[in-house]
Amino acid sequence: MARCSKCGQDAVTYIRYNGSHLCAEHFKEYVERRVKKELRDQVDLKDTKRIAVAISGGKDSLAALLLVHDVLAERRDVEISAITVDEGIAGYRPEALEKAQRLCREIDVPHHTISFENELDLTMDEVSGLLGERTPCAYCGVFRRRCMNKVARDIGADVLATGHNLDDMAQAVLMNFTRGDVERLARLGPHVKVQPGLVPRIHPLRQVPEKEAYLYAMLRGIDFSDAVCPYWEAALRNEYRDIIDSMEARSPGTKFSILASYDAIRPLLREKYPQSNLALCSCGEPSPSGRCMACALLDEIKKRKG
C-alpha cells in the first residue's frame, strides 16, 4: 500500500495531476482548503448573511452543503439553508430527495423544496414524452434554474451555491467554446454582478474534480443518492465529458488547465459582453429580453401538447 506523501500513513488515493499520495485526513484537508479559498474568492462574507445551497441529493451538492456548513460553522451571523427542486422524474428524484432531507435534518439546516408540478404544472416525465428527438435536459435545466432562483429569492438568500465541480465547469467552458457561444461563456458562474431578482450563483467545488468530490463524500460518510436520471444518456454534455476525460487520462491536469484558461480570459469576455440590465418577465423572473426562457419553453410545450 502506498504511503501518504504528507504523513506516511496509508494513502487512500493517488492524485495523478500533482503526483501525491494522500491519507484520508490529508485528502479531506486538501479538498477543504480549496473550497474555503473559493468561498473567500467568490463571496464577500462580510456582507453575506444568507447562503442557500441547491442540493439534489447527489454527492456533489451534499458535499457542497456540508462544506459550506463547516466552513461557516463559527459564523453565527450567516444563515444557511438548502433548496431541492423536484423535477417529477419517477424512480430518480424521490430517493435523492429523501437523502437531501436527511442530511439537512442531521446538520440542522432548513430545507425548502419546490416541484415542477406545483410551480409549472408539468413534470419532466410528461415533458420528455413530448419532445421527440430533443433532449429533456435543455428544458429541465432552464426550469430548474427558474425554480431555484425563485425559492432563493423568496427566502432572501444573498447567494445560491451549487454543487458544480471542476468536471462540470470544464465541460461548460468547452461546450460554449465549441458552439461559439462566447456571450454565454462570459456569463458562466460564479456571478459577480448582483442583478435585481436574480440571486447570484456561486460554485464552491469548482476546483474539485468529480472523482475527488465522490471520495470526499464517501470519507465524510455522506449518505448520497447515486441514482442516475433516466434522461441522462441523452445529455449533450456527455460528449464533452468523454472528450475531456480522455484528454485528462493522457494529460493529467487538463481539467484545471481548461478552467484556468477560462478564468484568465473571463475579465476580457465580461468587458466585451457586459451583462445588460434585466427586465422582469410576466412570471416575475428576471430576463435580458423581458420574456424569460422558461416561459418561452412552457409556451412551446403547450403547443406540442396541442
Please identify, using beta-carbon distances, which residue of 14 and 232 lies nearer to ligand SF4: 232
Nearer to ligand SF4, 48 or 61 (CB): 61
User: By three-state DSSP, how is residue 194 classified?
Assistant: coil
Contacts of ligand SF4 in 113-132 (CB under 6 A)? 124
212 binds ligand SF4 (CB under 6 A): no
CA proximity to 254, closest of 243, 265, 264: 243
Beta bridge partners of 52: 81, 160
Of 67, 137, 147, 170, the residue at the interface with ligand SF4 (CB under 6 A) is 137
Site for ligand SF4, residues 28 to 87, rule: CB under 6 A: 87
Tell me the closest approach of the beta carbon of residue 240 to ligand SF4, in angstroms: 14
Q: Does 136 bind ligand SF4 (CB under 6 A)?
A: yes
Largest CA distance in the chain: 66
Verify binding: residue 244, ligand SF4, rule CB under 6 A.
no
Instruction: Tell me if 141 contacts ligand SF4 by CB under 6 A.
Output: yes
Stretch that binds ligand SF4, among 74-82, 105-113, 136-144, 280-288 (CB under 6 A): 136-144
Q: Which of 116, 231, 240, 262 binds ligand SF4 (CB under 6 A)?
A: 231
Place of cell 436574480: 198
Strands across the sheet containing 50-54:
111-115, 79-86, 50-54, 159-161, 201-202
Asked if 49 contacts 158 with a C-beta cutoff of 8 angstroms, the reply is: yes
Q: How many angstroms separate the CA atoms of 54 and 113, rounded?
A: 10
Rg (CA), the chain: 20
- Is residue 234 within 8 Å of residue 136, measured between CB atoms? yes
Nearer to ligand SF4, 136 or 209 (CB): 136
Interface region with ligand SF4, contact rule CB under 6 A, candidates 10-18, 224-232, 244-252, 261-269:
224-232
Three-class secondary structure assignment of 15-60? ECCCCEEECHHHHHHHHHHHHHHHHHHHCCCCCCCEEEEECCCCHH
DSSP state of 10: B
Among 4, 170, 235, 259, binds ligand SF4 (CB under 6 A): 235
> Does residue number 168 form part of the binding site for ligand SF4 (CB under 6 A)?
no
**Smallest distance from ligand SF4 to CB 93, Å:** 8
Footprint of ligand SF4 (CB under 6 A): 87, 124, 136-137, 140-141, 229, 231-232, 235
